[in-house]
Amino acid sequence: MITGRKKDPLWRNFIEIPASSSSTTGVGGKTLRAQCKHCKTNIVSLIARMRAHLEKCPDYASRNSSASTSSSRIQICENDSSDEDCGADGMQVKVNPTAEKTSQASQVPTLSKSSSRGSMSQYIVKTSEKEKHKIDIQVAKYIYATNTPFRHSEHPEFIKMMQLSRPGYLPPNRKNIDGKLLDEVYDTVKSNMENNLKGKVVCMALDGWSNIRNEPIVCVSVTTTENDGSVYLVDTIDTSSNSHTSNYLLILAIESIKKCRSFGCNVRSFVTDNTANMAKMRRQLTELEDDQIGDVITYGCSAHLINLFAKDIEEAEIKSDVKKIIKYFKYHHFPQAKYKEAGGKALVLPQDVRWNTLADCLESYVNNWHCLVKVCSEHRSVLDLTIKDLCVLSNCTHIWKDLLSSDWLPEEADKLKARFKAAMTPAHFAAYILDPNFNGDGLSEEEDTIGMEFLDSSCPNTMKDVLAYRARSYPFLEYSLEQSSAQRKLLNWLQL
């Protein structure tokens, strides 16, 4: 049996012409030419040439026009295609039943390989320079808008997130975000602002602030007088090297008004807070005669004045007590946890530079009053110990002893004892012995001995009184310990 490479099914449309009968001599008796069965044309017997011939052969096209519609796609079977998949002429025909019929001249089929794959571009996500720049700008805008540190753009997890969203995309580094991207975004925002404010009548506001690094700046903003009342930030000025005098603020106000007029924005009113330097600056601006500024109405901020009025009538004592309670529940772990368990909402602390925060503070306090009372009533004993500004050593010892008396798992009890030993000193035991609220109750014999030895070594002259106190002999009788004079005497001993 003769073996070798299987012939291409395309040969079914051609007749082999031996080299001996051809005008072109062959090498080793191989076939050098082929004759088309349809138009009898002789061509070189190369598959590519034969396929190209069939695409142009008119007789072949007319023969197959009756078997397919005008939009048929004829595909040449590959060498590895089975005979059952091909027609009698070695061609594979796919018919589109919805195609419209056209003229006979346009019914030339299109040939392609049946196993040909699509372009590689459909499997690859390409990011052009224009698209990358667009994404870079959006990344930069996100960082600017959220006050995110620029170095976050180089964080591995951020890069991974961006590449999952856009394979092959590498976000800009912090130098680009801090450089050309920042300049471009700034120029774009500035241009949009100027276009939006062109031909508008606005009210300008000027105020001093401090940034996150506590550097003084002056911000200038304008509000349109239309129904929407849109607000635009016109300028921010670093004033680190200048005092906020009325003359300096007047210069800033004039420059800001002229800046707005340069792009067609008309400033007709000017508002500031009511500090002395701002009030004087407004008077100077009113008296100023400058055609480039025009007539500008100046006035103080009513919201600021109302806030000052609220300070005038506030009860400082009530404010102080409420702040003390809120701070206690916000900054102490145990009462904070119990307050949340009781369903308490967020408590607000008043801030002098944040208007209406005092009202928000009192409102949050009143609305959560029932939760505060519940926590205080259910956990009075624990809160009494943690709420004190001064916690003496005897109280510390009592808290530790109370913890040791609770039920713990064996491994937890061992850890607690280790912490107890690390916290306790001879002074703790001595204070616990002398405190009339505890009298050394609960101390082990060893702990009691340690405390007494400490008193003997540190205060040998008081040992007679200490022994009298422990024996409840004169002057430390039971009833006398309740008197304030005896309490004060013992408190002196507790301050060890």
Q: Which two tokens stand for residue 430?
A: 């001595």
CB 186 within 8 A of CB 212: no
Q: What are phi and psi of 441, to 5 degrees?
A: -65, 135
Residue 393: per-residue pLDDT = 82
Give me the phi and psi of 24, to 5 degrees please: -100, 125
pLDDT of residue 385: 56
pLDDT given at position 257: 92
Name residue, tokens 């040439």. Answer: 49
Per-residue b/e over 82-112, b at no fewer than 16 CB within 10 Å? eeeebeebbbbbeeeeeeeeeeeeebbbebe
Report d(CA 421, CA 478) in Å as an integer.
32
The DSSP string of 102-135 is --GGG-PPEEEETT----GGGGS----HHHHHHH
Residue 21 has what DSSP assignment? G
Identify the pLDDT of residue 183.
94
Q: What does the alpha-carbon distance between residue 31 and residue 25 come to, in Å, rounded to a whole number?
A: 9
- Quote the CA–CA distance of 325 and 375 in Å, as a whole number: 12
Which of these, 438, 440, 436, 441, lies nearest to 452 by C-alpha position?
440
SS3 214: coil
Cα distance between residue 299 and residue 486, in whole Å = 66
CB 209 within 8 A of CB 233: no
- Per-residue pLDDT for the chain (496 aa), expressed as one digit of tens each? 455 677 888 888 888 887 654 444 444 455 578 888 888 888 888 888 888 888 888 888 777 665 554 434 434 333 444 444 444 444 444 444 444 444 443 444 444 444 455 666 677 778 889 999 999 999 999 999 999 999 999 999 999 999 998 888 999 999 999 999 999 999 999 999 999 999 999 999 999 888 778 889 999 999 998 777 789 999 999 988 888 899 999 999 999 999 999 999 999 899 998 889 999 999 999 888 777 787 888 988 888 888 888 788 888 888 889 999 999 898 888 888 989 999 999 999 988 777 788 889 999 999 999 999 988 888 776 666 555 555 678 888 888 888 888 888 888 888 888 988 888 999 999 989 988 888 888 899 999 999 999 998 988 888 888 888 888 887 777 665 554 444 444 444 444 4
Computed on alpha carbons and rounded to an integer, the radius of gyration of the chain in Å comes to 47
- pLDDT tens string 272-289: 988 899 999 999 998 887
Give the Cα-Cα-Cα angle 261, 264, 268 (nearest 5 degrees).
55
pLDDT at position 392 is: 75
Q: How far apart are CA 258 and CA 77, in angstroms?
A: 78
* Domains of the chain with bracketed CATH: 9-113 (no CATH), 129-187 (no CATH), 198-307 (3.30.420), 314-386 (no CATH), 393-494 (no CATH)
Question: With the C-alpha atoms ordered 104, 110, 111, 113, is the resulting torsion angle positive or negative?
Answer: negative
H-type alpha helices, 222-301: 246-262, 276-287
Secondary structure of residue 298 in the 3-state scheme: strand
Tell me the pTM. 0.52
Distance between CA 486 and CA 475 in Å, rounded?
A: 9
